Amino acid sequence: MNALVLEDVKKLELRDIPKPVVGEKDVLIRVGAVGICGTDLHIFLGLANYNRDSRGQAIPLKQSPQILGHEFCGTVESVGDTVTKVRPGDRVVVDQLLNCWSQERSPKCEYCESGDSHECEFGNQLGITGPPGAFADYIAVPAVNVVPLPPTMTDLEAAIIEPLACVIHASDRMESAHNRYTFSGHYKIRHILILGAGPSGLLFVQYLRNVRKFDGEIFIADMRESKLNVAKKLGATPLDVRHVDLISEIQTRTHGARLQYVIEATGSGPVFDWIPSIVRPQATVLLYGGGHSGRDIGCLTPFQVLENVLVTSGGASGGFDADGTPTIYRVSMEYLRDGKFDAARLVSHQYSTLAQIPRAFSEDATQQDFIKGVLVRE
């Protein structure tokens, strides 16, 4: 079968590799659609490597090449002897984390037992930590990791289920924290700022408007006009930081009250210079973006002084249904099925073949009009 293999930093090669072997409890999936995630881009560019050895040291791509792609759906090609959950021909989305449930570990680790499976002590992530991802013709996964898709859902929509599940998980973590400002308590959230109008930022806007039913003002800051235009259509107030002073703008627009809730979805270190000046004491700051290079840890001192609630999130977990189905993936799928999210607005670039993906990583992703790319197989 064909697969796109990352053989070294910035070196994607289309290769003919063996078709996956299907175990008795696995399903073989013919890949239908795969989203390009910021994590994929970080690995491609050499900014991150999550494939670690037993000592926690990164394994070079030259030594252990990676097939990327963890936001994906497809059609069941065949099933193992004991699989009854799905059958050939069913369309499914996949939880990319191989956790204790996937591996049938007993007893479960404390994170899987408590519903926080993304932190599984023994977990592996398809397309991220070594196991092959979905930039290939086929992929084999444990049957427990799949969620059947409704017939009305397109492959493009299904490719957004994983990133939406991450946003839902992050929002759940925020709401379960000990926050002064909440959506329904005595001290209400009235102004929200989302830093970054990329795919995650745009999903947060839709979550707040369509799931949380938040009717206050949602500011969203970015440097790309194409992203801000989409954000405005989704119900946010765009702030182009190339042309406005963010601190002054927030002070003016909130009449000096500042913000009760900030979602950091850029992964850019310099935003930490802005946040302390635009939030109220004991406001909540959700750190969602990854990276944050270019700033010393001393930049966190103002957050300590303000006693801000810092909430972090790095994946999608939230317990399991009775049959082991990952609940948060099912919920994410249902939100998309019910029209609460517009997946198409996030997708600026669509591809139809694996051969087009190297260009997506090396060229398209650097363009001003790039928001999110998705491979939808013909």
Residues tagged active-site? 39, 42
* Rounded-to-integer distance, Cα 35 and Cα 344, Å: 12
Which residue type occupies 301? T
- Residue-wise DSSP of 1-17: -EEEEEEETTEEEEEE-
Judge residue 184's burial from the number of C-beta atoms within 10 Å of its C-beta, 0-12 exposed, 13-18 middle, 19 or more buried.
exposed
SS3 188: strand
Residues 6+ apart with CB under 8 A from 132: 3, 20, 66, 67, 126, 139
* Rounded-to-integer distance, Cα 374 and Cα 350, Å: 5
Q: Give Cα separations from 19 to 15, 55, 188 (angstroms).
A: 12, 31, 54
Question: Which tokens in the block code for residue 377?
Answer: 């197989």
Q: Which residues of 129-159 are buried (b: 16+ CB within 10 A; e: fewer)?
A: bbbbbbbbbbbbbbbbbbbbbeeebbbbbbb
* Rounded-to-integer distance, Cα 372 and Cα 351, Å: 11
* HSE-CB for 216 with a 13 A CA cutoff: 16
Judge residue 375's burial from the number of C-beta atoms within 10 Å of its C-beta, 0-12 exposed, 13-18 middle, 19 or more buried.
buried
